[in-house]
Amino acid sequence: MLALLWRAVRWRRATSLAVLAASVVATAAGTLGPLYARSAEESLLRQRVAQAPAVQVGLTVEAQLGGPGRLTGDLSSDPTTGQVGPPVVADAARAVAADPRLDRWFGPPSAFVELDSTSLVLDGGSVAGLTQPVWFERSCEGLQMDSGACSPGPGQVLVSRRTAQTFRLAVGSTVRLSLAPRPLRVAGIYADVAAADAVWGARSPIQWTEPRQPDDVLEVDAVLVAREDIDDRTLGGAAGAYRPLRRDTILLSTTGPVTSDVAAVDRDLRAVAGRPAGAVRGVAADDLPPMTLRNQLTDLLAEVAPQRRDLRGAALAITLQLVALAWFVLFLVVATTTEERSAEVALAKLRGLSLRRTAVLALAEAGVDLLRSGDYGGVESSR
C-alpha cells in the first residue's frame, strides 16, 4: 500500500506539489498570524516609548525645601539654625530613587538641588540680576562647556556663555551670591544649550528671561555651585534625584519574545512611592521633608493600550482572512486530486476492498502532502 501510495505521489507530481504548496501557505499563515500581531503591537509600543521625552518616562523623586514661612524637615522654629540642609535632603531623595527594585527599569540616579532665585553681584558691587543657584550631580555629563572646568569646586561657580558675554566674565572672575559669604570664582563657562535630559530630566540651567515691565528684574541663567556652597537653609527650593528610563527594558527585542512587564514596573513604582525616606547622615527619617515620586510611564502605556488592541484586532482579522482563503484553495486542490483518482477508487471497490481501505486509497495521497506541509509551514514561520 505504501509503495503504491508513493508511486501515485510521484506519478501526479504537479498535483501533489500544488497540494503541498497550498498546505504550506495555510499552515504558515495560521502560525505567523499571532506572531505578526504581537510584533506589530510591540512595535507601536517601542515607537511611543522611544519618542517620549526623558522627563516623562524617567523617575523623579523630589522634596520641597524650607525657607522663611515654608519649613519642612525642620528641627527648630528658626529656619537658619536647625533645618535639614539641602544636600542632606538630596541624599535622602537619592536613596529613595536608588531602590534596587528599580534598577531593572531605570539608570543610575543623579541628585540635584535648586534654590530660589537670589541676586548675582558682580565684582564691582553692581547687581547683574536674579539667578538660581543650583547643584547638579554628574554635571560633566549633562553640560557642554565652552571653557574651564565642568564641575565647580568649593568657592567656585559655573556661569553660562550669555551671562559671561553680557557682563564680561571670564574664567577667574569673581561674583557673589547671597548664599555664600565669600566671593565665588568663575571656574567654567557652559554653552547656551539645554542640559542632557538623560542625566537631569527636564531640568536645565538655561533660564534667561528679559524683564517685561520697567520694574522687573533681569533673570540670568542659573549658576552651578559646589555641593558645599549649596547648603543654604534660608532659601526655599527643591532637592531630589532623577533616574532615566532604561528604554530597552520596556521595548521588544527583535531576536526573541521579550515581554514588556508593564505590571511589574507599576508595582515597583508603587512600592517605592510608599516607602518613607530613611535616615541619612545621622538625620532621622521623621526630620526629612516628604518625598514626591513622579513618573508618567504607566500613563503613557495606558494611552498606548487602546491603539495596541486596535492594531492587534486588525492584524488578526487579516490573518483569519488569509487562513480562510488558503484553506479554501487547499480544499479545491484536494477535491481535484481526489476526483482524478475516481477511476482508481472505483476499481478498488470492484476488487472488493473494504470501505476503510478504499477511503485510505482515496485520501492518503493528499494526506501525505498535508503532513509534509506541517513541517515546511513550521520552518517558514520560524524564519
For residue 287, how many other CB atoms are within 10 A of its CB?
A: 18
Q: Which residues pair with 238 in a beta bridge?
A: 64, 114
Q: Are 59 and 243 in contact (CB under 8 A)?
A: yes
pLDDT for the residue 44: 81
Distance between CA atoms of 80 and 69, rounded to whole angstroms?
Answer: 12
CA dihedral angle for residue 10, residue 11, residue 14, residue 20, rounded to 10 degrees: -40
Distance between CA atoms of 288 and 329, rounded to whole angstroms?
Answer: 73
pTM of the model: 0.66
- 246-to-53, 141, 203, 212 alpha-carbon distances in Å: 13, 17, 19, 41
Ranges of the chain with pLDDT below 50 = 1-2, 4-5, 67-82, 252-260, 372-383
Q: Are 239 and 85 in contact (CB under 8 A)?
A: no
Q: Are 144 and 233 in contact (CB under 8 A)?
A: no
pLDDT for the residue 210: 87
* Environment class of 377 (CB within 10 Å of its CB; exposed 0-12, middle 13-18, buried 19+): buried
pLDDT for the residue 104: 81
Largest alpha-carbon pair distance within the chain?
Answer: 121
For residue 140, how many other CB atoms are within 10 A of its CB?
A: 12
Q: Which helix (H) or strand (E) segment is 264 a member of?
A: helix 262-273
Distance between CA atoms of 161 and 148, rounded to whole angstroms?
Answer: 12
Phi, psi dihedral angles at 353 (to 5 degrees): -65, 150
Q: Which helix (H) or strand (E) segment is 166 a member of?
A: helix 161-166
Long-range CB contact pairs, 251-255, < 8 A, 24+: 251/42, 251/45, 251/46, 251/49, 251/50, 252/39, 252/42, 252/43, 252/45, 252/46
Q: Encode pLDDT of 74-116 as tens digits.
A: 333 334 434 678 888 898 888 888 888 888 888 899 999 999 9
Phi, psi dihedral angles at 234 (to 5 degrees): -100, -20
pLDDT for the residue 168: 93
Task: Give the CA count within 13 Å in the CB-facing half-sphere of 189.
Answer: 16
Q: Are 145 and 151 in contact (CB under 8 A)?
A: no
Query: Which segments of 204-303 are extended strands (E)?
Result: 223-225, 237-243, 292-294
Among residues 277, 314, 264, 322, the alpha carbon closest in space to that of 93 is found at 277
| 3-class DSSP assignment, residue 314 | helix
Cell of 282: 545621622
Distance between CA atoms of 32 and 52, rounded to whole angstroms?
Answer: 30
